[in-house]
Amino acid sequence: MSWSLLFFLLVGAVSLAAAFGVVTSRQPVHSALFLLTNFATLAVLYITLDAQFLAAAQVIVYAGGIVILILFVIMLIGGETNDFSAAQRAWSRTVGIALGVILLLVISYSTLSRMMTPSEETAALLQGGSPKAVGIELFSKYVLPFELIALLLLVALIGALVLGRQQEGAGEGIPSVKANE
Amino acid sequence: MVETSYYLILAAIIFSIGATGVLLRRNALIIFMCIEMMLNSVNLTLIALARQWGSLEGQIFVFMIMAVAAAEVAVGLAILIANVRHRQSINIDEINLLRW
């Protein structure tokens, strides 16, 4: 067993354990921290796959942005639900797990049945996902999708502002402002 | 060099765990996290196949998916907060109205 395979198995095991933790944690905060672990291990796997730029982007966007946003929302709204209470229908958990296992079997079968042999020469062709290589590709061949992504982010920003805004006359505004009126 | 198929299997397992989580949990926030996890497992698949075929296009795809995921998180969490303000609950069994 080579060192790289051993490393992959180790990181993959941590990633899987974190994924289990996200699903099974009772506290949403614990789920968010397990999710952070999962994202970090995936960033490590990206580096082993010659995608250095995306590994950095993964850490910045997911670990630095999305998980922090989720944590903020958990702290804003509490997020406690009685997920594991007896009030939940008894069969729903069994059915959910069964459907998940079926999904895993189908995906694994379709992956394994057309397993490709790794070709060393094509892997050598890839110059690596360094920021320079990805940037050249992004700003020459894919410049239109890149600009559209910028537009999408702007629309999402405005949409989040509109949705998250306090309704007019909905009550609890800032007290000092209310007093001045 | 670790075989590409190992990465694909790992991504398949993470995707299945995420899908099972969506089915099992009733907490909208945790369902949200499971969806993020599924998006990430697909990213792993794309990067593994980009290395397999010696092409950068898979990595460009992943870049786009990351931007879409960021937009989705911003809008989705805003919807959740608006809903909590209205109904004081994030149990998805109780979120059944399109308008209020």
Interface of B with A in 12-71 (CB under 8 A): 12-21, 23-27, 29-30, 32-34, 36-37, 40, 43-44, 47-48, 50-57, 59-60, 62-64, 66-71
Residue of chain A nearest B72, judged by CA positions? A156
Q: How many structural domains comprise chain A? A: 2
- Specify if A24 maps to a domain: yes
If you average pLDDT over residues A80-100, what whole number do you get? 73
User: What is the nearest CA distance from B98 to chain A, expressed in angstroms?
Assistant: 13
Backbone φ, ψ for residue B91 (5° rounding): -80, 120
Task: Say if residue A83's pLDDT is above 80.
Answer: no
Least confident of A2-6, A72-76, B2-6, B36-40: B2-6
Calculate the CA dihedral of residues A138, A140, A145, A146 and round it to 10 degrees: 50
Task: Say if residue A181's pLDDT is above 50.
Answer: no
- Specify if A37 maps to a domain: yes
Least confident of A14-28, A48-62, A106-120: A106-120
If you average pLDDT over residues B31-36, what whole number do you get? 92
- Choose among A151, A62, A162: nearest CA to B78: A162
CA separation, residue A25 to residues A3, A8, A29, B61 (Å):
33, 25, 9, 31
Q: How many CB pairs under 8 A join A and B?
A: 238
**Cβ neighbourhood burial of A124 (10 Å; 0-12, 13-18, 19+):** exposed
Give the model confidence (pLDDT) of B39-84 as tens digits.
999 999 999 988 888 888 888 999 999 999 999 999 999 988 888 8
Q: A73 vs B81: CB contact, 8 Å cut-off?
A: yes
Q: Chain A contact for B97, CB < 8 A?
A: no
pLDDT-based confidence at B38, cuts 50/70/90? very high
- Predicted local distance difference test score (pLDDT) of residue B99: 67
Q: Residue A3 belongs to a domain with what CATH number?
A: 1.20.120.1200
User: What is the nearest CA distance from A179 to chain B, expressed in angstroms?
Assistant: 23
Domains of chain B: 4-87 (1.10.287.3510)
- Specify if A144 maps to a domain: yes
Q: Chain B contact for A77, CB < 8 A?
A: yes
Domain that holds residue A38: 1-82
